[in-house]
Amino acid sequence: MSSESNDEKEYGLVLPFDTDNEEFVRGWALGEMWKSLELQGWAHGLIHARSAEMVMRMAEAKGLPFTAHVYDDGVWMEATIGTPVKEDAR
Protein backbone atom coordinates (compact mmCIF):
# COMPACT_ATOMS: atom_id res chain seq x y z
CA MET A 1 0.00 0.00 0.00
CA SER A 2 1.34 3.42 -0.88
CA SER A 3 2.00 6.00 1.80
CA GLU A 4 0.99 8.81 -0.57
CA SER A 5 -2.11 10.81 0.24
CA ASN A 6 -4.72 11.35 -2.47
CA ASP A 7 -3.36 14.88 -2.97
CA GLU A 8 0.08 13.50 -3.84
CA LYS A 9 -1.01 10.98 -6.47
CA GLU A 10 -0.54 11.76 -10.12
CA TYR A 11 -3.34 10.98 -12.52
CA GLY A 12 -3.17 10.24 -16.21
CA LEU A 13 -5.09 8.53 -18.95
CA VAL A 14 -4.64 4.83 -19.59
CA LEU A 15 -5.21 5.53 -23.28
CA PRO A 16 -4.40 9.18 -24.11
CA PHE A 17 -6.74 11.02 -26.45
CA ASP A 18 -5.46 11.79 -29.93
CA THR A 19 -6.29 15.48 -29.45
CA ASP A 20 -5.16 18.18 -27.05
CA ASN A 21 -8.55 19.91 -27.20
CA GLU A 22 -9.47 20.58 -23.56
CA GLU A 23 -13.19 20.91 -24.35
CA PHE A 24 -13.19 17.43 -25.90
CA VAL A 25 -11.61 15.99 -22.75
CA ARG A 26 -14.06 17.89 -20.55
CA GLY A 27 -17.01 16.65 -22.60
CA TRP A 28 -15.77 13.07 -22.40
CA ALA A 29 -15.52 13.14 -18.59
CA LEU A 30 -18.93 14.78 -18.19
CA GLY A 31 -20.46 12.31 -20.65
CA GLU A 32 -19.10 9.41 -18.63
CA MET A 33 -20.68 10.85 -15.49
CA TRP A 34 -24.01 11.37 -17.26
CA LYS A 35 -23.91 7.78 -18.52
CA SER A 36 -23.38 6.55 -14.95
CA LEU A 37 -26.32 8.65 -13.78
CA GLU A 38 -28.53 7.11 -16.44
CA LEU A 39 -27.41 3.53 -15.77
CA GLN A 40 -27.09 3.42 -11.99
CA GLY A 41 -28.66 6.62 -10.62
CA TRP A 42 -25.38 8.03 -9.25
CA ALA A 43 -21.95 8.98 -10.57
CA HIS A 44 -18.47 9.47 -9.19
CA GLY A 45 -15.41 10.67 -11.03
CA LEU A 46 -12.18 12.59 -11.13
CA ILE A 47 -12.68 15.66 -13.33
CA HIS A 48 -11.12 19.02 -14.04
CA ALA A 49 -12.24 21.61 -11.50
CA ARG A 50 -13.42 23.87 -14.35
CA SER A 51 -16.22 21.31 -14.89
CA ALA A 52 -17.73 21.96 -11.44
CA GLU A 53 -20.54 24.15 -12.79
CA MET A 54 -21.67 21.49 -15.25
CA VAL A 55 -21.57 18.73 -12.63
CA MET A 56 -23.71 20.86 -10.31
CA ARG A 57 -26.15 21.50 -13.18
CA MET A 58 -26.29 17.76 -13.93
CA ALA A 59 -27.09 17.04 -10.28
CA GLU A 60 -29.78 19.72 -10.25
CA ALA A 61 -31.33 18.37 -13.46
CA LYS A 62 -31.61 14.93 -11.87
CA GLY A 63 -32.72 16.27 -8.45
CA LEU A 64 -29.70 14.66 -6.77
CA PRO A 65 -27.16 15.89 -4.21
CA PHE A 66 -23.67 16.89 -5.29
CA THR A 67 -20.43 16.62 -3.33
CA ALA A 68 -16.88 17.43 -4.37
CA HIS A 69 -13.33 17.61 -3.13
CA VAL A 70 -10.98 19.94 -4.98
CA TYR A 71 -7.37 18.82 -4.68
CA ASP A 72 -4.63 21.16 -3.52
CA ASP A 73 -3.45 21.74 -7.09
CA GLY A 74 -6.80 23.43 -7.85
CA VAL A 75 -6.97 21.60 -11.19
CA TRP A 76 -8.59 18.29 -10.27
CA MET A 77 -11.67 17.50 -8.26
CA GLU A 78 -13.37 14.33 -7.19
CA ALA A 79 -17.12 14.69 -7.67
CA THR A 80 -20.12 12.59 -6.72
CA ILE A 81 -23.69 13.06 -7.90
CA GLY A 82 -26.33 11.16 -5.98
CA THR A 83 -25.72 8.52 -3.34
CA PRO A 84 -23.60 5.53 -4.35
CA VAL A 85 -25.18 2.15 -3.67
CA LYS A 86 -23.02 -0.01 -1.40
CA GLU A 87 -22.19 -3.41 -2.87
CA ASP A 88 -23.54 -5.31 0.15
CA ALA A 89 -26.87 -3.42 -0.04
CA ARG A 90 -27.81 -4.89 -3.43
| Strands 76-81 and 66-70, sheet pairing | antiparallel
CB 21 within 8 A of CB 46: no
Q: Tell me the one-letter amino acid at 36.
A: S
Q: Please give the span between the terminal C-alpha atoms of the chain, in angstroms, as a whole number.
A: 28
Rounded to an integer, what distance in angstroms lies between the CA atom of residue 7 and that of residue 85? Answer: 25
Range list of H helices, the chain: 22-40, 52-62
> One digit per residue, pLDDT tens: the chain, 90 residues?
344 445 555 656 576 767 777 788 788 889 999 999 999 999 999 898 999 999 999 999 999 999 999 998 888 899 999 998 776 555
Q: Considering the entire predicted model, what is its pTM? A: 0.70
